[in-house]
Amino acid sequence: MTGVRAARQAWHEAFTLPIVFLSAALLGGLRIDVRGGLGFVPPPLMALVLAVVLLAALHRSGALDPARLIHPARTGLANASGAVIVVALGAAAAQTIAALTPEAGVLALVFDVAWLVLFANTIAARPERARLLSSLLVIFGAAFVVKFVLLGALYAPDGSVTKRVVMALVEGVSLGTLAYQPAGPATGYVAFATGLFFLAGVASLPHGSEPDAGSALVRVVPGEIVVPDPRVE
């Protein structure tokens, strides 16, 4: 049973997680305009900074445990696989944030500040893994609704029912100084899939104490007391 579990874990780390995160990274940069034209946009520098802060929040909550991916007790191939997961996770985080943020202008600045405050508050609060996953679902879901539903309806060229409802809710607010170019409808579906891939990958990251891994993370020194690694609960 242990061998079967180890094989599944190795397959999960070598193929499943990299594919999920790389898919999120690729989909997050995909842009489809209203005429069906395809384009790929790399993440801006601010998205990279926010991705690093998000990874710190994941590590702080225990959702990301680097010792489960890269450790001297693991083989070289296993450590290489873990390094690929970490890099793919960072790329997916940056592209997901970029996909849910307006491209430029004042609205992009507002989103960036909101991301930074929310992630920094998460690090300070240090929630447990389950609470963090729920929080990320709410944060990414809210950003998706604001960008692709509310802003998309406000700046849509046609007079759809959604636009009329939103305009009625924000009656009296001037949008003349807030330049925004709504994305094509297909881009919203791509961004939705990006968020699902990213959250599913984060939820599938190795976490907690691994069976039979305690002995591999214990430092034994002759003549001294055995000191367990503090990362093993």
What pLDDT band is residue 154 in, cutting at 50, 70 and 90?
confident
pLDDT for res 7? 74
Predicted confidence at residue 156, as pLDDT, reads 62
Task: Using alpha carbons, list the distances in angstroms from residue 209 to 18, 62, 147, 233.
Answer: 22, 11, 39, 6
pLDDT recorded at residue 155: 65
Give the whole-number percent of the chain exceeding pLDDT 90: 41
Its domain, for residue 27, covers 2-228
Determine the residue type at 94.
A
**Structure confidence by residue, pLDDT tens digits, 79-118:** 898 899 999 999 999 999 999 998 877 888 999 999 999 9
Amino acid 221: pLDDT: 43
Tell me the CA distances in angstroms from 99 to 150, 179, 231, one per residue in order: 15, 18, 34
> Is 35 buried (19+), middle (13-18) or exposed (0-12) by CB count in 10 A?
exposed
Q: Is residue 204 in a domain?
A: yes
Largest Cα–Cα distance of the chain, in whole Å?
80
Most confident of 7-11, 186-190, 208-212: 186-190
Chain centroid to CA 66: how far? 16
List pLDDT tens digits, range 130-147: 999 999 999 999 999 988
For 32-89, the pLDDT digits (tens) are: 877 777 888 899 999 999 999 999 999 998 899 888 888 888 888 888 988 999 999 9
Residue 158, domain member (yes or no): yes
Rg (CA), the chain: 21
Q: What is the pLDDT averaged over residues 119-133?
A: 91
Q: Which of 53, 61, 65 is nearest to 120 (CA)?
A: 53
Q: How far is it, in rounded angstroms, from Cα 205 to Cα 17?
A: 8
More confident residue, 176 or 6: 6
What is the C-alpha separation between 228 and 196, in angstroms, rounded? 37
Q: Give the residue, 127 or 161, on which the prediction is more confident.
A: 127
pLDDT at 111: 92
Q: State the total domains in the chain.
A: 1
Beta-strand pair 227-228/38-40: unpaired
Within-domain flag for 22: yes
pLDDT at 166: 52
> pLDDT digits over 168-186, tens only?
544 444 444 556 666 777 8
Question: Would 233 be classed as within a structural domain?
Answer: no
Per-residue confidence (pLDDT) for residue 217, from 0 to 100: 36
Q: State residue 157 phi and psi, 5-degree precision.
A: -70, -25
Query: What integer pLDDT is reported at residue 160 of this predicted model?
Result: 57
Residue 71 placed within a domain: yes
